[in-house]
Structure 1
Amino acid sequence: MKRIIIAVLVIAVVGGAIAWVLTNNKKKNAEKTAVVAEGGGAVSVRVATIKKEPIDLDFSTNGIFTPNQELNFLSENAGRVSKIYVDEGDRVSKGQVLARIDAEILNTDKETAEATLQNAIRDEERYSSSFKTGGVTQQQLDQAKLAVQNARLRLQSSQRRVSDANIKSPINGIVNKRYIEVGAFVTAQGTQLFELVDVSKLKLRVNVNEGQVANLKTGDEVQIKSNVFPADNYSGRITFIAAKADNSLNFPVDIEVANNKKNDIKAGMYGTAIFKFPKQAPALTIPRGSFVGSVSSNQIFVLEGGKTARIRKVIAGRILGENVEIVDGLKEGETVITSGQINLVDGSAVAPIK
């Protein structure tokens, strides 16, 4: 019985609290309604008067320098490293010998291939002489000629392996890492030997938005600044523009940059690409937030008579940062509603905020 009485008291208390909250909310709503009534029911909005302004397409964006060429150099022959001629940090040129693999076994294979070829040539000569007198058939002669061709190919392969015992740099660059020591055994499956990096030319990859990428094309010259060397000026050339945006809806752009003679810029440093464009003719622009929903809707509200919102269909042009060019549908001097559109319909009464 006591439990029932306590439960009834709790319900009564909770019910009273809910009633108090509802009454209080009703009073607040009544106060808001009174304020709106005093203002004649007009919706407060922000507005802007439209006029032609010069368009500045220049922009800058940051990126990271990467090597124009970067190569992890792998072994092609099996053997023991007998000599290493370079160390980390050394500058190398294309064709320079970096290391040498013990070529004793390779030289033996080459000598065997040479002997096999000489023997095949002598056999072909004997078969040719015998064929003239009818001592051998045409098939036997053809087989002798084929043996010579095969022996010659085996010799070429052996000579190539002996040549590859001298590990040569395939590019101009710097030895960034050395993975081998004298006496180490490397395999023909591709033991990593050196990491070579060419920083005489670099790539600066940046991301631009849809409004910016529309003004770029491959081959355009770009001014480049290094964050570490701000006093130095570098020039670059656009070599790649992505045909598809990434997950952030930006477009990757690659810029090839020539380093200075000292190769001061290192791969991994930050850089800034400065895009400059010819001066543009003045055009009508409105704030991007003026559109109902998004720019693609091509709908805005204009202020008529200083107190009425009228919806207007326009044609949007280029997106210029926080502004959008208007190609058609607006005239200079008209007033556009820039905020508060969510509360508006065509013909709504508005009160511009001064």
Structure 2
Amino acid sequence: MKAVVDVPENYLSSIKKGTEVIIEIPDVNKKITSSIDVIGQQINANSRTVIAEIKIPTDGTLKPNQLAKVKIKDYASNNAMVIPMMILQTDEKGKFVYVEETEKGKKVARKKMVTVGSIYGEFIEVLNGLQEGSKLITKGFQGLYDGQAIAVN
């Protein structure tokens, strides 16, 4: 059995035969890890997609033409730092988050400019601007300013 999927053309540079995928089939509550077996040679002019085929090992629970969601593993990093995308803010200088710091025995909010990378679901990769162990402010951050005293609950 195989899955035939339309892959947006902007992913073409990051996939090849053998690229890992996760196939989610909600009807049978199943996740299958496989890889791309064939990548089409022509882009659909209307949808700007190319067809890819993925071999699916079957155990008899899957049926032809069943709907599935395919996640392409087009990026991997063993040391990626990711944060909730909802806390990322933007101003005229760029993207930033607020972190908790202690200064003179008091907790304050510090604005940290960040460079971001890939998005995965509700999270975004931070390439620069934060250190491991930074205490991100995830509630009440919208109205903060740099250096503002904060109370931590």
TM-score tier by shorter-chain length is: 0.5 to 0.7
Which among 142, 147, 151 is matched to residue 347 of structure 1? 147
Q: Tell me, yes or no, if structure 1 residue 203 matches structure 2 residue 1.
A: no
- Match in the other structure for 1:270: 67
- Unaligned 5+ runs, structure 2: none
Where 2:53 maps in the other structure, the secondary structure is strand
Q: Would you tell me which structure has more strand in proportion to its own residues?
A: 2
Structure 1 residue 302: Cα displacement = 1.7
The question of whether the paired residues in 1 share the 8 Å contact of 2:38 and 2:54 is answered with no
Where 2:89 maps in the other structure, the secondary structure is coil
- Match in the other structure for 2:79: 282
- Match in the other structure for 1:338: 138
Structure 1 residue 299: Cα displacement = 1.1
Where 1:341 maps in the other structure, the secondary structure is coil
Where 1:350 maps in the other structure, the secondary structure is coil
The question of whether the paired residues in 1 share the 8 Å contact of 2:2 and 2:53 is answered with yes
Structure 1 residue 203: Cα displacement = 2.4
Structure 2 CA distance, aligned partners of 1:300 and 1:316?
11
Count of residue correspondences: 137
Partner amino acid, structure 2, of 1:331: Q
RMSD: 4.4
Pairing of 1:48-127 with structure 2 (within 5 A): none
Q: Tell me, yes or no, if structure 1 residue 217 matches structure 2 residue 18.
A: no
Structure 2 CA distance, aligned partners of 1:220 and 1:281?
20
Pairing of 1:306-325 with structure 2 (within 5 A): 307-325=107-125
Structure 1 residue 336: Cα displacement = 1.7
Which among 279, 292, 317 is matched to residue 89 of structure 2? 292
Percent of aligned pairs sharing the same letter: 26
CA deviations on 1:190-210 (whole Å, 9 max, x unpaired) are: xxxxxxxxxx97623367xx9
Structure 1 residue 347: Cα displacement = 2.0
The question of whether the paired residues in 2 share the 8 Å contact of 1:315 and 1:328 is answered with yes
Q: Would you tell me which structure has more helix in proportion to its own residues?
A: 1
Structure 1-normalised TM-score?
0.30
The question of whether the paired residues in 2 share the 8 Å contact of 1:223 and 1:236 is answered with no
Q: 1:204 to 1:284 in 2, by over 3 A?
A: closer
Where 1:312 maps in the other structure, the secondary structure is strand
Where 1:343 maps in the other structure, the secondary structure is coil
Structure 1 residue 288: Cα displacement = 1.5
Partner amino acid, structure 2, of 1:285: V
Which among 104, 118, 128 is matched to residue 328 of structure 1? 128
Structure 2-normalised TM-score?
0.59
Which among 223, 239, 245 is matched to residue 39 of structure 2? 239
Structure 1 residue 215: Cα displacement = 8.3
Q: 1:341 to 1:204 in 2, by over 3 A?
A: same
Q: 1:311 to 1:217 in 2, by over 3 A?
A: same
Structure 2 CA distance, aligned partners of 1:343 and 1:234?
45
Where 1:332 maps in the other structure, the secondary structure is coil
